[in-house]
Amino acid sequence: MCSIIGYCGVCSDFRAFLAGFDATVSRGPDDTKIVDTGRGLLGFHRLAIMGLTPEGMQPFQLQNSYLVCNGEIYGFEKIRDQLRGQYSFRSDSDCEILLPMYRVYGTRMFELLDAEFAMILYDGESDSYIAARDPIGIRPLYYGTDSNGVTVFASEPKNLVGICSHILPFPPGHYWKDGTFHCYCDIAYVEKVCMDDIETVCGNIREKLIDGVEKRLVADAKVGFLLSGGLDSSLVCAIAARRSERPIRTFAIGMQKDAIDLKYARRVAEWIGSDHTEVMMTREEVLDSLEQVVALLGTYDITTIRASMGMYLLCRWIHRNTDIRVLLTGEISDELFGYKYTDFAPDAAAFQAESVKRIRELHMYDVLRADRCISVNSLEARVPFGDLDFVRYVMCVDPEKKRNRYGMGKYLLRHAFDREDYLPQEILWREKAAFSDAVGHSMVDDLKAYAETLYTQEEYEEKRRRYPHAMPFTKESLLYRELFEKYYPGQSDMIAGFWMPNRSFAGCDVDDPSARVLSNYGKSGV
């Protein structure tokens, strides 16, 4: 995934800077470099995925300008060919095109990129810094100011603890210049609703998702796939399997006691002919790794932490036992097509408003989870459902068609692949189960039971009131908050709050984020 940092002015404490930067060396274990721009510092930890030669090492330099970028630039070959007459490229790295692009287009370049990226650029001609992040926030970026008022950017908040007193996420779809944020893309904004018929819509969904997967198969390092057995990851794997000359490698995880999804993942693997690996986890492993997971995530959100337990342990296994460097995942589908709780949305406008909210906040929840669990294990995450063209299209589709009017959630996505036998029918039309439940109901039950042993009711009531922002409302959420504060004291507003079903929807005023507490859970846990 790589790790970047930018100190946009005189660094008064290089030791603190270095300690902060080294906190994320696992994101880029292949090489490290720091350059003095003359007006600050740019640092880069490299995970070599594209352009594996030493020439692909960053920071990139063009005359007296420098750039660091954690990203994948899709279709960069075409842009590079357009620029070859003006610039001589030294590597096959996709990110090397960015400085030349900036020279030609300025900040308008961000609108032209089909990419997952976070970048920091020092413009030597204007003696100024620019930072930017992709429209969804798939690649992480945070910022703050030091005691001297110098702005500092970095891949993760742990880079900035000890340097900045207040740390915030860099807003997706924005660039920062001259101390001001500018929105270049609001990916959730719909200018005109698409009123195409269902068959046309589903055809476009199918083709755009296939294209999104194909883009993300391009890598100079080995690629693997997380396969939960749910609809989203299964579709990604099925598409990739059809586009690959040899069997793809898929990985699944579940509790030893009651893994729900493993049998479905096994069925998908057999269907698509993948080289499949199952990893089992225990109650002891979950509890033993809990504090480490909260520390690497930088969140106290219940859903994010629960879902991260299995994902972290699986990615750790992949890192320790394979030479895979890139993982494709199934995140972002739910925010586009709906969760279990959005079945209760009273009308199409409410459904769409919920989708807009979730897409704009993704970088604090599911996207954060995927990035941290994968990157801490020196792997790169790629998210086909986050393809910009795909997201723009689905957001524009008439929300009345996206609502569950069909007796099955995500109907449009399912129907889009109901031909050509991409998946077995029992997988394609399977009831949704959230990952944190699907690895085994016992995992969440174990976490909740463990938290119950740590606090009396009186202790719980007293301690939770110490945190007025996003106040814990269960003993489990208090446990997570105390672990968060241990590593990120006073930084709770990095997260908007708890990911929960919309309590304004009838049937959704619940005290737990799991779909298990909803009346429409149905066969999700079977």
**pLDDT tens track for 169-221:** 999 999 999 999 999 999 999 999 999 999 999 999 999 999 999 999 988 88
Q: Could you give the percent of the chain with pLDDT greater than 90?
A: 84
Which DSSP category does 221 fall into?
S
Q: Please, which pLDDT band fits residue 260 given cuts at 50, 70 and 90?
A: confident
Identify which of 237, 302, 344 has the alpha carbon closest to the alpha carbon of residue 436: 302
- What does the pLDDT average to over 295-303? 97
- Phi/psi of residue 112, each to 5°? -90, -10
Residue 78: other Cβ atoms inside 10 A: 10
Per DSSP (E only), the strands in 341-390 are 380-382
Torsion of CA 228, 229, 233, 239, to 10 degrees: 140
Cis peptide before 472 (omega within 30 of 0): no
The reported pTM is 0.95
C-beta separation of 491 from 168 below 8 A: no
- What are the residues facing 137 on neighbouring strands? none
Identify which of 26, 14, 336 has the alpha carbon closest to the alpha carbon of residue 155: 26
330-373 residue pLDDT tens? 999 999 999 889 999 999 999 999 999 999 999 999 999 999 99
- What does the pLDDT average to over 294-305? 97
Which DSSP category does 83 fall into?
H
- What does the pLDDT average to over 303-323? 96
Structure tokens at 44: 């880069």
Over 457-472, what HEC string results? HHHHHHHHCCCCCCCC
Q: Is the pLDDT of residue 523 over 70?
A: no
Residue 276, SS3 per DSSP: strand
* Residue-level pLDDT at 525: 53
* Residue-level pLDDT at 47: 83
CA dist., res. 478 & res. 501, Å (int): 19
* Residue-level pLDDT at 522: 61
Identify which of 443, 490, 407, 120 has the alpha carbon closest to the alpha carbon of residue 253: 443
CA dist., res. 11 & res. 121, Å (int): 17
Q: Is the pLDDT of residue 465 over 80?
A: yes
Domains of the chain: 3-183 (3.60.20.10), 198-424+441-525 (3.40.50.620)
C-beta separation of 44 from 32 below 8 A: yes
Determine which one of 2, 69, 237, 508 is catalytic. 2
Helices (H), 248-364: 262-272, 283-297, 302-321, 333-337, 348-361
Paired sense of beta strands 326-328 and 223-226, if any: parallel
* Residue-level pLDDT at 53: 77
Q: Is the pLDDT of residue 435 over 60?
A: no
The yes-or-no answer on residue 2 being catalytic is yes
Q: What is the mean pLDDT of the chain?
A: 93
Which DSSP category does 255 fall into?
E
Residues in the chain: 526
Q: Please, which pLDDT band fits residue 407 given cuts at 50, 70 and 90?
A: confident
C-beta separation of 113 from 107 below 8 A: no
